[in-house]
């Protein structure tokens, strides 16, 4: 069982929700970020980037204090309000191609520490400490951890009932995505959600490993009740959208195209596919674009183990090509490799090779939910940039207060 409870969120007023909520600031280019800060006085980016006009930027705790001050200013101006009663939130995100909906609530850190909430990625201690200090100093968290679980009929039914009522928020963003949010504070409905999660044995982290690890550190160093929980968006695993990350490489480690292919043939069956973009579809297959041609690379069976991590396409690629042939041994730090989300059209990746920005590209398939769960269940970890998981939530739409 897992413990998920309602909380008194801090959130935008209904008329300002579409102006305040924002994508993560890391997803914007510097130019776009500057434009949004200068032309939207209500965006949550002003809280996250309180010193954007300053030539000298503060760091660490001093910067976090400015974030808290700007947050307090938004509250004092009446842009952000505090919920009067403990509430769950139903959040829905839809566009022409995707549909996500689930529950926003406060999930117990104790379930993370006990292993009831399972992870599949390594975290970096320095980042954990940095965000723990951020939470401790600012006193709020504006980005929920994305968790998934097996479908629960009671939760699904409750969500369906609320969808027939007027949403508290309903707005469309420039990417043509419709965002809706409903408040659940009826006692019976709140209890239904709480009791439903007690029947769920495990939750899995989809996105937010560092956020939950930092919340865990905070919980162990704080006696505040809210610090023993972290904000989460919980969705059924059937709704999760896992996208692949492709690899773009800047060199061939001194090999000609023919020499590189000969080296690859030691571990893969290589089939030339022509000049039309080719995506892999077969088990243990990746595709490659090199010198104007696409290739299918199918791993030779003797090189594929049944270990839940070693058999993943990103590992097959790393262990058999990137490290031994191209001398790319640390994908997190090597500047000769870049990662491109699978949502980027192959034609754009092809152009980056054709115009010399990169020399070759490897295209991977998305990792399945069952494979992700198998890794987490076995307490193992995927290599970096194995998955790009959606939905991505807006910062500042629902804010979890850490100070009671």
Beta bridge partners of 141: 400
Whether residue 377 lies inside any domain: the answer is no
The reported pLDDT for the residue numbered 302 is 83
Q: Answer whether residue 253 is part of any domain.
A: yes
CATH number at residue 293: 3.30.1760
Same domain, 24 and 148: yes
The reply to whether 343 and 215 lie within a common domain is: no
Residue 399: CB partners within 8 Å, gap ≥ 6? 9, 10, 11, 80, 140, 141, 142
- Taking CA atoms, 357 is separated from 277, 336, 347, 348, in Å, by 18, 11, 14, 11
CA distance 218 to 133: 8
Residues 217, 81 within the same domain: yes
Q: Count structural domains, the chain.
A: 2
pLDDT at 306: 82
Contacts 24+ apart (CB under 8 A), 299-306: 299/267, 299/268, 300/267, 300/268, 300/269, 303/267
Is residue 371 included in any domain, yes or no? Answer: no
Q: Is there a domain that residue 343 lies in? A: yes
The answer to whether residue 373 sits within a structural domain is: no
What tokens does 401 get? Answer: 């207060």
234 and 324 fall within a common domain = no
- pLDDT reported for residue 55: 80
Look at residue 29 in the predicted model and tell me its pLDDT.
Answer: 83
Phi, then psi, of 327 in degrees rounded to 5: 60, 30
| Nearest CA among 339, 321, 323, 329 for reference residue 387 | 339
Which residues are CB-contacts of 23 (< 8 A; sequence separation ≥ 6)? 392, 394, 395
Classify residue 353: in a domain, yes or no: yes
- pLDDT of res. 24: 85
Domain range for residue 18?
4-242+390-401
Q: Are residues 232 and 284 in the same domain?
A: no
CA-CA distance, 233 to 337, in Å (whole number)?
32
Residues 126 and 156 in one domain: yes
Same domain, 397 and 335: no
Residues 59 and 74 in one domain: yes
Of 293, 143, 161, 266, the C-alpha closest to 211 is 143
- Quote the pLDDT of residue 88: 98
Q: Let me know whether 257 and 350 are in one domain.
A: yes
β 388-390/360-363 pair status = unpaired
- Tokens coding 344: 């980027």
Please list the pLDDT of the chain residue by residue as tens digits (404 residues).
899 999 999 999 999 999 999 988 878 888 888 899 999 999 999 999 998 888 888 889 999 999 999 999 999 999 999 999 999 999 999 988 789 999 999 999 999 999 999 999 988 888 899 999 999 999 999 999 999 999 999 999 999 999 999 999 999 998 899 999 999 999 999 999 999 999 999 999 999 999 999 999 999 988 899 999 999 999 999 999 999 999 999 999 999 999 999 999 999 999 999 999 999 999 999 999 999 999 999 999 887 788 899 999 999 999 999 999 999 998 888 999 999 999 899 999 999 999 999 999 999 999 999 999 999 999 999 888 899 898 988 999 999 999 87
Residue pair 116/198 in contact (Cβ under 8 Å)? The answer is no
Classify residue 120: in a domain, yes or no.
yes
Predicted local confidence at residue 92, as pLDDT: 97
Q: Name the nearest CA neighbour of 27 among 175, 243, 145.
A: 175
Q: Looking at the structure, do residues 81 and 106 belong to the same domain, yes or no?
A: yes
Are residues 219 and 141 both part of a single domain? yes
Q: Please, what's the b/e burial string for 226-259 (b: 16 or more CB within 10 A of its CB; e: otherwise)? A: bbbbbbbbbbbbebbbbebbbbbbbebbeeeeee
378 found inside a domain = no
Q: Is the pTM of this model over 0.85?
A: yes
State whether 54 and 142 are in the same domain. yes
Kind plus residue range of the DSSP H or E element containing 77: none
Q: Say what the pLDDT of residue 59 is.
A: 87
């Amino acid at each position: 069982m897992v413990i998920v409870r309602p909380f008194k969120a801090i959130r935008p007023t209904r008329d300002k929700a579409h102006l305040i909520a924002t994508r993560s600031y890391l997803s914007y280019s510097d130019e776009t970020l500057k434009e949004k800060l200068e032309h939207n006085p209500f965006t949550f980016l002003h809280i996250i980037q309180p010193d954007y006009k300053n030539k000298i930027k503060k760091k660490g705790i001093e910067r976090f204090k400015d974030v808290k001050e700007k947050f307090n200013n938004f509250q004092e101006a009446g842009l952000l309000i505090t919920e009067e009663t403990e509430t769950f939130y139903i959040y829905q995100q839809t566009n022409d191609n995707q549909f996500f909906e689930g529950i926003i609530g406060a999930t117990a850190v104790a379930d993370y520490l006990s292993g009831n909430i399972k992870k599949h990625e390594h975290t970096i201690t320095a980042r954990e400490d940095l965000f723990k200090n951020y939470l401790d100093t600012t006193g709020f968290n504006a980005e929920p951890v994305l968790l998934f679980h097996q479908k629960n009929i009671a939760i699904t039914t409750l969500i369906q009932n609320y969808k027939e009522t007027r949403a508290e928020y309903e707005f469309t963003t420039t990417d043509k995505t419709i965002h809706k949010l409903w408040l659940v504070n009826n006692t019976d409905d709140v209890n239904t959600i709480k009791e439903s999660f007690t029947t769920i044995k495990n939750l899995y982290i989809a996105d937010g490993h560092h956020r939950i690890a930092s919340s865990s550190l905070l919980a162990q160093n704080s006696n505040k009740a809210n610090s023993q929980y972290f904000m989460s968006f919980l969705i059924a695993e059937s709704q999760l959208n896992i996208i692949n990350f492709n690899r773009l490489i800047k060199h061939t480690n001194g090999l000609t195209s023919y020499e590189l292919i000969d080296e690859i043939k030691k571990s893969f069956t290589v089939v030339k596919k022509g000049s039309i973009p080719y995506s892999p579809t077969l088990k243990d297959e990746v595709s490659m674009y090199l010198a104007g041609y696409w290739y299918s690379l199918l791993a030779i069976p003797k090189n594929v183990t049944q270990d839940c991590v070693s058999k993943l396409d990103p590992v097959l690629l790393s262990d058999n090509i990137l490290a031994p042939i191209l001398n790319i041994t640390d994908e997190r730090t090597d500047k000769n490799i870049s990662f491109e989300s699978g949502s980027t059209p192959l034609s754009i990746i092809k152009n980056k090779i054709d115009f010399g920005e990169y020399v070759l590209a490897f295209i991977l398939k998305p990792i399945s939910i069952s494979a992700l769960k198998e890794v987490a269940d076995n307490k193992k970890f995927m290599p970096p940039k194995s998955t790009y998981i959606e939905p991505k939530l807006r910062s500042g739409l629902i804010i979890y207060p850490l100070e009671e």
